[in-house]
Amino acid sequence: MNRQQIFDVAAVRGIIAERKGMAGAMLPILHGIQEKVGYIPADAVPMIAGELNLSRAEVHGVISFYHFFRQQPPGKHVVQVCRAEACQARGSEALAGQAQDLLGCAFHETSADGQFTLEPVYCLGQCACGPNIMIDDELHARVGADKLQRLVQAKREAT
């Protein structure tokens, strides 16, 4: 069965119904769906378009414009490595390489075991203490190779 199909349709309809009256409701709706489902399923697009009286192309255009919105389910854990200048000045490019080796996937990809999705991020606002990463919603500062290994290992063991 296609992974795309498995999501709580009623919950998504509920989110759309609850937020469609907001001024500029599109982003709040998309955030609500991604929080609930983990990504924006393709089947949610016509549902949103219908309720907001927009074309599917317009909805798709918004989803694909923003880096934050995913159109595919992510791995169990999302690892974001900051690659912006302040972290670069503190060695984040080396860390980016280590993260790829450790997780066994490139940026914008999910590891073969479905455990980790690796994403670049351009600034987490912790610029005095880089390199910084975020795992799921948890921030970590001053991350070197050892700390990265410990953090990833802890996530693996928690599974």
Partner 1 sequence: MSRDAITVYVPRDSTALALGADHVAAAIAAEAGRRGLKVDIVRNGSRGMFWLEPLVEVGTPVGRIGYGPVDAGDVPALFDAGLLGGGDHPLRQGEVDALPYLKNQERLTFARVGITDPLSLEDYLAHEGYAGLTRALAMEPEAIVQTVLDSGLRGRGGAAFPTGIKWKTVAGARAAQKYVVCNADEGDSGTFSDRMVMEDDPFMLIEGMTIAGIAVGATHGYIYVRSEYPHAIATLDEAIAIARRRGYLGDDIQGSGKRFHLEVRKGAGAYICGEETAMLESLEGKRGVVRAKPPLPALEGLFGKPTVINNLISLASVPIILARGAEFYKNYGVGRSAGTLPFQLAGNIKRGGLVEKAFGLTLRELLEDFGGGSESGRPIRAVQMGGPLGAYMPQQQFDTPLDYEAFAAIGAMIGHGGLVVFDDTVDMARQARYAMEFCAVESCGKCTPCRIGSTRGVEVIDKLIANQDRPQQVHLLRSLCDTMVNGSLCAMGGMTPFPVLSALNHFPEDFGTPNEKAA
Cβ–Cβ under 8 Å, residues 127 and 114:
no
Per rule CB under 8 A, is residue 78 in the interface with partner 1? no
Per rule CB under 8 A, is residue 67 in the interface with partner 1? yes
Nearest to 81 by CA among 52, 58, 101: 101
Whole-number Å distance between alpha carbons of 159 and 151:
13
Per rule CB under 8 A, is residue 26 in the interface with partner 1? yes
Closer of 9 and 94 to partner 1 (Cβ): 94
Per rule CB under 8 A, is residue 61 in the interface with partner 1? yes
Applying CB under 8 A, among 38, 56, 78, 88 the residue interacting with partner 1 is: 88
- Residue 79 neighbours by CB distance under 10 Å: 26
Per rule CB under 8 A, is residue 71 in the interface with partner 1? no
Whole-number Å distance between alpha carbons of 152 and 93:
18
Applying CB under 8 A, among 84, 100, 104, 155 the residue interacting with partner 1 is: 84
Minimum gap (Å) between residue 2 Cβ and partner 1: 25
